[in-house]
Chains A and B, each alone.
Chain A
Amino acid sequence: MGDKILMAHGSGGKLTHELIENNFLKLFHNSVLTKLDDSAVFDLCGKLAFTTDSYVVSPLFFPGGDAGKLAVCGTVNDLSMCGANPLYLSLAFIIEEGFAKVDLEKIVDSIHLAAMEANVEIVTGDTKVVNRGCADGLFINTSGIGLIPEGIDISGSNAKPGDKVIVSGTIGDHGIAVLSKREGLIFSTRLESDCAPLNGLASEMLKASRNVHCMRDPTRGGLATTLNELAQQSSVTICIEEDKIPVREEVFGACEMLGLEPWYIANEGKLIAIIPAEYASEILKAMRNHKYGKNAAIIGEVQAGYPGRVVMKTVLGTTRIMDMLVGDPLPRIC
């Protein structure tokens, strides 16, 4: 047995079957998948949420996680942000010829662990191998299906003036952890990615009160971009207080060094919730009792004002616009 992925591992022949048997089926053992039919077949009844996402993170392994954990958490979180209970995931790999098998095993292991934590089942999958140079190591796609309990209506267009804006914890941890290991920019930090499934936290929040207007996970583009999306979708102004935003010292420091602002840095285990003022403290309390919401904080509120605008009250007490991220966050020149 070689230690690299070969083109034949994606050909559909014997090696593909071996790979599926030895690397995937052993871990992802459930009655739907093990039938090995062309589609996953299962019963579901109720309002469904359905989402898909592709994961092309570089480097594949970073402090606090890897592409596999990310591929599960990202899709689980997208379902959770609509108030759905995530149930089933698909899992597709596009692997570059020559990829180390041991790395694939590590990634599959962490997919398994993340799926266990999130209590979701991987019920269908696909593996393709492309010629060397045609992909960057490994790309993963996951799609997910979840059920939305009755009485829950969460959408980016539901924010109303007077609502409170809550963030579930420190922002920018994932982006800075990944950046710290990226080629050409290696700096030493103890910081780890916050990559985590948020369905547990979301369900605790909804247990405390179903009156959640909006929920969204601020991934690429960070807090600022997500707040802008919500302000635009709901045609409201969102006013944020800079000194209320939880930011770890390490993230703050790295951002200072690189000329970036933490609210443009990606997160993979945080959520923003917009909640009517009268339910905010109840929900905040529930969040702080959950391991992924310990540092949750109210960071601002929704106002009528200019539709689609996010305004930040600075640490000095002045105000300024908090715009969306444009392009990639790049370090400054001088």
Chain B
Amino acid sequence: MKLVTEFRNSDMAKGLTAQIKNRSKRNARLMEFCGGHTVAIFRYGIRQFLPDTINMLSGPGCPICVTANADIDKAIALAQIPQIIITTFGDMMRVPGSYSTLQEAKANGSDVRIVYSTMDALKIAEDNPRKHVVFLGIGFETTAPTIAASILQAEENKLKNYHVLSLHKVCPPVIRALLNSGEVNLNGLICPGHVSAITGSHVWEFIARDYGIPCVISGFEPLDILQSIAMLVAQIEKGEAGVEIAYKRGVRSEGNLYALKLMEQVFEPSAAEWRGMGRIAGSGLKIGNNYSQFDAESMFKIKIKPPLEPKGCLCGDILRGVKTPADCKLFRTVCSPQSPVGPCMVSAEGTCSAYYQYGDK
């Protein structure tokens, strides 16, 4: 695991910290878009290294957290159809929808199974030819290609009982919406590492060009993040704004062309509903017409009651970076990982969960 431990070296972390402290003169508000970065920042106590000039904000880059209640309600409604087996990544089980959770649906007799990859879901479809297997497709550009691949595989295997509820989202439009809202006054953005491994770095160029905000694509180890902050500080102090890659071992500027081709083949852009940010044009991926037999939404009539938002929950504001968990009256009082009110407390990558588990700093 040399590749991992080398990126957790304490002497090098101290060196990067000194570099950040020496260079950082102006006050700067930096956002880490990705929930994976939020967790790493808290897990390694990275905020403790930073000078007072730097203020870190957590962004909306947690796929579970941004999934709208109505979409979770749809998944639960599907689970209640007797001939359906729901397959999902584990995090989704405990996420509260408007009225219930998948975990509760399972306890009430729905067949809901946790899988670790879409290929496991395909196997379940093969093994249960009399049932319909629906995979809950939640995730960003990182996850979407593997789900596209599963649909192509199902087509090749002539598997007619495999379907996907596509709730996928793509990241650049939401960042644009966030910046257009004028709510968060950012001086730098830590761009997602694994999303960029698929999309390439060029998709972030509009941020530097149109909004004058420096961008650095970061990996997920503590040294990656410290280096990215150092690179952002360097750009800020020089008054420059460009897109740089600190995560060169994972990201190429053109991205993963094969994965992009798979996505393009199976999905088409659509509007999508984001928790806290509403409907954003072009920010979703729906299953294209050629593959509609694999689209759970077009195959099954899903009826849901009007969605409800939990009273007092600030997940939406927290996802936009305008509030922190400390501002939420429910945090640590009513809302905890044991009994989460909002999704940011459930997901392993949620901001509230990171604050709760690792402490406020």
Contact = CB atoms under 8 A, between A and B. Distances in A.
A139 B348 CA distance: 31
Interface string B26-57: 00000000001000001111101100000000
Interface in B321-347: 337-338, 347
B1 to A, nearest CB: 5
Interface in B124-144: 138-140, 142-143
Contacts, number: 88
A314 B4 CA distance: 15
A330 B90 contact: yes
Interface stretch (A58-66, A127-135, A265-273, A319-327): A319-327
A46 interface: no
Contacts of A256: 1, 4
Interface in A201-256: 249, 252-253, 256
Contacts of A319: 45, 48, 359
B176 interface: no
B20 interface: no
B254 to A, nearest CB: 21
Contact of A333 (B46, B138, B338): B138
B255 to A, nearest CB: 16
B8 interface: yes
B91 interface: yes
B222 A316 contact: yes
A327 B94 contact: yes
Interface in A252-305: 252-253, 256, 259
Interface string B76-98: 00000000000001111110000
Contacts of B63: 333-334
Interface in A7-61: none
A185 interface: yes
B75 interface: no
Nearest to A250: B1
A256 B338 CA distance: 24
Given A330-B90, A334-B142, A320 B358 contact: yes
Contacts of A190: none
B48 A328 contact: no
Contacts of B268: none
Given A184-B115, A259-B348, A315-B8, A331 B337 contact: no
A317 interface: yes
B45 A316 contact: yes
Contacts of B237: none
B8 A323 contact: no
Nearest to A325: B337
A151 B140 CA distance: 60
B8 A330 contact: no
B10 interface: yes
B91 to A, nearest CB: 5
A320 B359 CA distance: 6
Contact of A320 (B43, B94, B116, B139): B43
Contacts of A330: 89-91, 93, 114, 348
B139 A316 contact: no
Interface residues of A, number: 24
Contacts of B49: 316, 318
B275 interface: no
B140 A334 contact: yes
Contacts of A253: 1
Contacts of B115: 184
B114 A252 contact: no
A332 B142 CA distance: 12
A326 B335 CA distance: 13
Nearest to A260: B348
Contacts of B347: 333
A318 B138 CA distance: 34
Contacts of A184: 114-116, 120
B243 to A, nearest CB: 21
Nearest to B88: A333
Contact of B337 (A315, A317, A321, A326): A326
Contacts of A320: 42-45, 358-359
Given A318-B44, A332-B349, A249 B1 contact: yes
Nearest to A329: B90
Interface centre among B14, B93, B358, by most chain A C-beta atoms within 10 angstroms, is B358
Given A184-B120, A327-B337, A314 B89 contact: no
A327 B345 CA distance: 13
B13 interface: yes
Contacts of B229: none
A253 B1 CA distance: 6
Contacts of B140: 334
Contacts of B245: none
Contact of A318 (B36, B48, B91, B92): B48
Given A184-B120, A249-B1, A321 B358 contact: yes
List the 9 closest A-B pairs by CB distance, nearest first.
A318-B45, A330-B90, A326-B337, A321-B359, A320-B358, A334-B142, A333-B89, A318-B48, A184-B120
Given A319-B359, A320-B359, A323-B337, 20 more contacts: A184-B116, A252-B4, A253-B1, A259-B348, A316-B8, A316-B222, A317-B13, A318-B44, A319-B45, A320-B42, A320-B43, A320-B358, A321-B358, A323-B357, A330-B89, A330-B114, A332-B91, A332-B349, A333-B64, A334-B349
23 contacts: A184-B116, A256-B4, A316-B45, A316-B49, A317-B10, A317-B13, A319-B45, A320-B44, A320-B358, A321-B357, A321-B358, A323-B337, A328-B90, A330-B93, A332-B91, A332-B348, A332-B349, A333-B92, A333-B138, A333-B139, A334-B36, A334-B139, A334-B143
